[in-house]
Amino acid sequence: MNLRFLLSESSKPLILGHQNADPDAVCAMMAFARMYRIINPEGTPTLIADDLSRLSNQVIDTFVPGESILEKEGIEGDLVILLDTNSVFQLGPKFQKIPQNPSRTIVIDHHEINPETEVLSDHRVVRSDRSSTCEIMVDLFDQYEIPIDPTTANLLLTGIIFDTRRFYFADIMTLQTAIKLIEHGADYERCIKALLMRPDRSERIARLKAAGRGKIHQIGNWIIVTSKIGAFEASVCRALLDMGADVAIVGGSPSKDVVRISSRSTREFSTATAINLGKDVMEPLGNIIGGEGGGHANAAGANGTKGLDEAIVKSIELISRIVEKEHGSAYES
Ligand SMILES: [Mn+2]
C-alpha cells in the first residue's frame, strides 16, 4: 500500500472508528487526521464514529480541545479509513454502509484477522501482534517519514497506554515505541491522567451499596459474591471482582416486572472450573425469571420479569453442582 499516494490524491477522506470509540480508536483517528493534513494540506478530513466513550471525550478535552468527531450521517468522502476496526459491523448500524469501494478503503487495525477485512478493503495494515492501533500508527509515521509533533505524540501514547492496560500487554517493541513518543514530546504523566476517570457519583454509590449487601458463598476454594442493586449491575460485578470475588452475580429489579442479572468471573475461575457463566448459569436463569439469559464465559447476563431471589439462589446451586461434580474429590481429600 502506498499510503502517501492514496492520501495525496484524496481531498475528502472519511476517518472512521468503531462504535462507542475507545481512546485507542479516537487517538488513532486524531493522529491519522494529522498525518493526512501533513501529506495533503489542501484536503479536509472528516472524523466519524457512532458515539464516543466518556473516557475518549476526556482524552480529546485534554489534548485536542475543540477538535471533534462527528456522529452525523450522510457525509460524502472520496476515501474511507477504518481505524481500530476490521468489519462494518463494528462501525455500528449508522455507519455500516460507508465503506463501499474496496479500492478506496483502508483498514488499520490490530484485532484478530477477520476474513471480512479482505473483502472490505484493498489497503490493509493489520497487525494482530500489536497491542494497539496507535502503536501501528507510530510505525506508519516513521515509514512515511512524517514528523510526530508533541500533541500527536501525546495522543498516540495515550492510545497505547489505554489498550495495553498501562503496559500490562506490552513487548519490547511497544516499550520502544512509547519511549520514542516521549522523545517526541509526549508527557507520560499527562497521558496517564487523561485516562483516569472516577465513575459517576450514582455509580459509586451503587457499587458501595451492593458491596454492603453482598453475600459471600465459599464453594470449594472459590469465593462467589451475590448482591442486589437496581442499577449499574455490570459495574458492581467488576467492583466485586476487584475486591476479591472469583465470581460476582448481581441482580436488580429497577422497576416492577423488570428483572436483570449480571455476572462476571475471573479467568482463573473459568479456566479451572470450565464454568461458562453464559451457558451454564445465565441461560438456565433466564427461564426462572421469565426471560432470556446468555453471554460469554467470564461475563454474562439475563433479563426477565420475575423471580429474582429464586434465580440468585439457583445461580449458587448451579455453580456448586458443577464445581463439586468436577472437583469434589479434590476438595474432600
Ligand atoms: Mn484497539
- Per residue in 194-241, pLDDT (tens digit) is 999 988 999 999 999 999 999 999 999 999 999 999 899 999 999 999
| Ligand 1 centroid, distance to 103 Cα (angstroms) | 24
215 CA distance to ligand 1 middle (Å): 36
What pLDDT, on a 0 to 100 scale, did the predictor assign at position 330?
Answer: 47
Q: Residues within 5 Å of ion ligand 1 by Cβ?
A: 24, 84, 133, 163
- According to the model, what pLDDT value does residue 296 have? 86
Predicted pLDDT of residue 254: 87
Question: Grid cell 498516540 — which residue?
Answer: 156
pLDDT at 224: 98
Does residue 263 contact residue 303 with C-beta atoms inside 8 Å?
no
| pLDDT, tens digit (0-9, with 9 covering 90-100), for 19-47 | 999 999 999 999 999 999 999 999 999 99
Domains of the chain and any CATH numbers: 3-194 (3.90.1640.10), 202-332 (3.10.310.40)
pTM (2 decimals)? 0.77
Q: How far is the CA of 78 from the centre of ligand 1 (A)?
A: 25
Residues 6+ apart with CB under 8 A from 35: 7, 137, 140, 141, 144, 146
Q: Identify the segments of the chain with pLDDT beneath 50.
A: 329-333
Phi, psi (rounded to 5 degrees) for 90? -65, -15
28 C-alpha to center of ligand 1: Å?
9
Residue 27 CA to ligand 1 center (angstroms) comes to: 10
24 CA distance to ligand 1 middle (Å): 5
Strand order in the sheet with 105-109: 46-48, 13-17, 79-83, 105-109, 123-126
Phi/psi of residue 20, each to 5°?
50, 55
CA 133 to centroid of ligand 1, rounded, Å: 5
Distance 292 CA to ligand 1 centre (A): 31
Q: By the 8 A CB rule, do 35 and 151 touch? A: no
